[in-house]
Structure formats: C-alpha cells, structure tokens
Chains A and B, each alone.
Chain A
Amino acid sequence: GAVVSQHPSWVICKSGTSVKIECRSLDFQATTMFWYRQFPKQSLMLMATSNEGSKATYEQGVEKDKFLINHASLTLSTLTVTSAHPEDSSFYICSASFTGLQYFGPGTRLTVT
C-alpha cells in the first residue's frame, strides 16, 4: 500500500519550452503533497508544499511563476516547469502524505537542452 507514481520518469525538453510532471497517489488520497529537487550528488531540497484545492506554499528562493504547482484532486499533483533553461535540469521527486507519513515517488529526471 501507499504507492506514489510519477510520470514521466525521464524527460528531455528544449530550452524555452514548458514541461509538466505528474505525481499520483495510486492507492490512497493525499491532502498534502510535496515537491523536492535533487541536483547530482546533492541532497533533496524542498521546493513547495501543495494542498488539495488551495495554492501551493513555495520555499524561499523558489520562483512560483516558473514552477507552477497544481493539486486539483486528492490523488494528483502536477509540477510545470515553464520556460525551462539548462539550469533547471535536475531530478524532481514528489511525496504524498498518508497516515501521517510521507511516501515518495520514484522521481523524474529532467534534462533541458
């Protein structure tokens, strides 16, 4: 139980385009989901917290207009990277809260060329 999926697992996009990453809780409903970013050989950094039906709360230094987060249902949160640049290339991981714990998705590798 408590499985979280992400789609796609790997995406390559051209600089200036937008890309959407989906995070789904497959067997539970998640009021709260979290988005993290992990650069190579570094730790996970929280980007934002999303609550179903309300605006996401972004961490300091994260551009809310660049990283659009939507949590429209209890099983789906999306992260859209707008006008992507090579420096946005990273590993993006979501997690979803269930019974008080966070369960992580497998991550999405974004490469911007």
Chain B
Amino acid sequence: AQTVTQSQPEMSVQEAETVTLSCTYDTSESDYYLFWYKQPPSRQMILVIRQEAYKQQNATENRFSVNFQKAAKSFSLKISDSQLGDAAMYFCASSGNYGGSQGNLIFGKGTKLSVKP
C-alpha cells in the first residue's frame, strides 16, 4: 500500500523569497517515483518535478528542487525566487516504477501556496 502525507494545508511566501513544501510517504513498492504536481485555479494538473527513487541525486527543474531523503521517506519541494504565478495547490504524489512505466498515482491532500507581492 502507498500513502502520501502533506502536513501543511496552506503556506505563504513573499515574492522572490524561497519556500519549502513538506511531504512524507510510505510505500511497499520496491521501486517507485515521487512527484510534485501543481494545480492552478484552472485545475489543470501540471507536473513540476519527478524523482526516481533509485537515484540518490535530488531532481531539479529551474527554480524547483527537491530534498529526497529515502531512509526518512521524505520528499520536500523547494521553490526559489517565488513568483506570483507559483500560487497554486501543490500535490505530492507517488507511484510504482514498473520497468520505467509509471503506475497508479497516489496523491497527498495538497498544500495551498499563496505568493504575496
């Protein structure tokens, strides 16, 4: 079974500042992926970043980076130089990795990020 926990229902950050969103997970999969998705008011799910569990190096995508602590089952998202367009609901998610194919996604409850100008 897989569970994903986001303990911060809401977060706020000043424009241009840095914010970190927390996520912990549990999984019985031997190999798995971890994700952060962004859902703006349009409700379109947008992939922010993906981490393959077997890779020790933390994934980065421009201003977005993760801190993946496999032993602690922790997967936090850091957003640097926050922009007004970053305001959205952020979901942490996990899935099994089946030979490079992504299995069912299990989502956390989400963190609503507000960005103050």
Contact = CB atoms under 8 A, between A and B. Distances in A.
Interface of A: 34, 36, 38, 42-46, 49, 91, 93, 95, 97, 100-102, 104, 106-107
A97 B96 CA distance: 13
Contacts of B50: 101
B42 A46 contact: no
Interface of B: 42-45, 47, 50, 91, 95, 100-102, 104-110
Chain B contact residues: over half helix, strand or loop, or mixed? loop
B104 A43 contact: no
B43 A91 contact: yes
B75 to A, nearest CB: 16
Nearest to B44: A106
Contacts of A49: 104
Contacts, number: 43
Contacts of A43: 91, 107-110
Q: Which of A44, A97, A100, A107 has the most CB of B within 10 A?
A: A44
B32 to A, nearest CB: 13
B109 A44 contact: no
B102 A104 contact: no
A80 to B, nearest CB: 21
A101 B46 CA distance: 12
A100 B97 CA distance: 9
Given A43-B109, A46-B105, A100 B45 contact: no
B44 A107 contact: yes
Q: Which 8 A-B pairs have the closest CB atoms?
A: A104-B45, A43-B107, A100-B101, A100-B100, A44-B107, A43-B109, A106-B44, A107-B43
B107 A34 contact: no
Q: Which of B44, B45, B91, B101 has the most CB of A within 10 A?
A: B45
Given A36-B105, A46-B105, A106-B43, 12 more contacts: A42-B110, A43-B91, A43-B107, A43-B110, A44-B45, A45-B107, A97-B101, A100-B100, A102-B102, A106-B44, A107-B43, A107-B44
Contacts of A38: 43
A36 B108 CA distance: 14
